[in-house]
Amino acid sequence: MYSEIVNTIKGLFPKQDFVPLHAPCFVGNEKKYLNECIDSTFVSSVGKFVDRFENDMAAYTGAKKAVVCVNGTNAIQMALMMVGVERGDEVLTQPLTFIATCNALSYCGAHPVFIDVDRDTLGLSPVKLEEWIQEYAELRDETLYNKRTGRRIKACVPMHTFGHPVHLNKLVEVCNRYHLKLVEDAAESIGSFYHGQHTGTFGEVGVLSFNGNKTITTGGGGMLLFQDEELAKLCKHITTQAKVPHPWEFVHDHIGYNYRMPNINAALGCAQLETLPAFLEKKRELAAIYKNYFDSVGVEFMSEPEGCRSNYWLNAIILKDKEERDSFLEYTNAHGVMTRPIWQLMNRLPMFEQAECGDLSNCTYLADRIVNIPSSVRL
């Protein structure tokens, strides 16, 4: 069966000796905007494309304000800082995620607490979240504390895995009930909607990524989405070295960060955003082809959760066990089709092996079985 799968995938991406997992696609105004940027000489952190990219993305997602950042990891770090996460705090998140999620909270000096995911979303389970809180945490004066460690639990960070939204309505409800700040790691879900609302706009802050392998790319970059314009203004200030505007003096009023996206990257982003609707339609077409095919050969394909419209950033199949997963990975990569397992669980990495965990049965099941298959935009 593996050879049939390889031939089917190669047939979807003809004229490629080796089919990559996800390649960028440049078919719009990228070169035009890059040339404009170069001709203006404003290729660094000041220029019209930075402002335009922020405004265009806010309009697309429905956020009140958007703030560009140098990459998605630093954007998560800034999001956590903006909601008040401090050194020694705990953050509830999922272990089935890319390392950036946990690296970012570590930059803040915070401690992750790992909660299980739902199988239909691959993202943080609001039911498992509430079960853990009820057993191991307590509210004191509208602040949640871990009964075992005594630490304050400040925030909750779900990740919309491969572009599939988590159960946001229930998650928002749980976070509100326990006074948790919700920060959405929407790095993979540009163009994904939960009941008609774009991911990254449900929490206090949402984060997008524009790495080279994302649905749209700026080469490297990230963005924070805000519904609170004053908070967005503060974030913009702090990510640009906290410099107070002045005709010539260098005055700074906070510890700032040099997390600014260069204008030349934003120029690329503006062009990519223009082509996003077409990219999303092509990716949905590919996902439909995959689903029909894998259903016919008895392999489970990861489809969008009910009530959602996923961007299908990376398509995924779920194999019967780890042994089959490993043999499939070996065969496909040896025969010209790039496939990848899902990430190792964060609690299995040496940096986070001492972190607190809830029951992680779903995470363990999925980590042993999920494989990503080629998902580039087919023109």
Q: Determine the pLDDT at residue 16.
A: 85
Q: Please write the tens of the pLDDT for every residue from 57-72.
A: 999 999 999 999 999 9
Total Cβ atoms within 10 A of residue 302? 26
User: Beta partners for 156?
Assistant: 92, 182
- Does the pLDDT at position 371 exceed 90? yes
- Does the pLDDT at position 45 exceed 90? no
**Beta strand residue intervals within 141-192, DSSP E:** 143-146, 152-157, 181-185
Query: Rg (Cα) of the chain, in Å, rounded?
Result: 21
> How many angstroms separate the Cα of 41 from the Cα of each of 34, 77, 119, 269, 272?
11, 30, 49, 18, 21
In the block, tokens 């087919």 appear at 378
Q: How far apart are CA 228 and CA 60, in angstroms?
A: 17
| 3-state SS record for 92-150 | EECCCCCHHHHHHHHHCCCEEEECCECCCCCCECHHHHHHHHHHHEEEECCEEEECCCC
Q: How many helices (H) and strands (E) does the chain have?
A: 11, 19
This prediction's pTM:
0.96
45 versus 166: the higher-pLDDT residue is 166
Q: Determine the pLDDT at residue 15.
A: 83
User: Residue 88 in contact with residue 110, Cβ under 8 Å?
Assistant: yes
Q: Please write the tens of the pLDDT for every residue from 218-271.
A: 999 999 999 999 999 999 999 999 999 888 999 999 999 999 999 999 999 999
Q: Please write the tens of the pLDDT for every residue from 73-92.
A: 999 999 999 999 999 999 99
What is the average pLDDT value for the chain, to the nearest integer?
Answer: 97
Q: Determine the pLDDT at residue 379.
A: 78
| CA contacts within 13 A on the Cβ side of 376 | 22
Domain ranges across the chain: 30-273
Fold of the CATH domain 30-273: Aspartate Aminotransferase; domain 2 (3.40.640)
- Does the pLDDT at position 133 exceed 90? yes
**Closest residue by Cα to residue 339 from 352, 354, 329:** 329
Q: Determine the pLDDT at residue 24.
A: 96
User: Residue 165 in contact with residue 61, Cβ under 8 Å?
Assistant: no
pLDDT above 90 as % of the chain: 96
- Does the pLDDT at position 1 exceed 90? no
Q: Determine the pLDDT at residue 360.
A: 98
Query: Collapsing DSSP states into helix, strand and coil, what is residue 66?
Result: strand
The helix (H) or strand (E) run that includes residue 194 is strand 193-194
Query: Collapsing DSSP states into helix, strand and coil, what is residue 160?
Result: coil
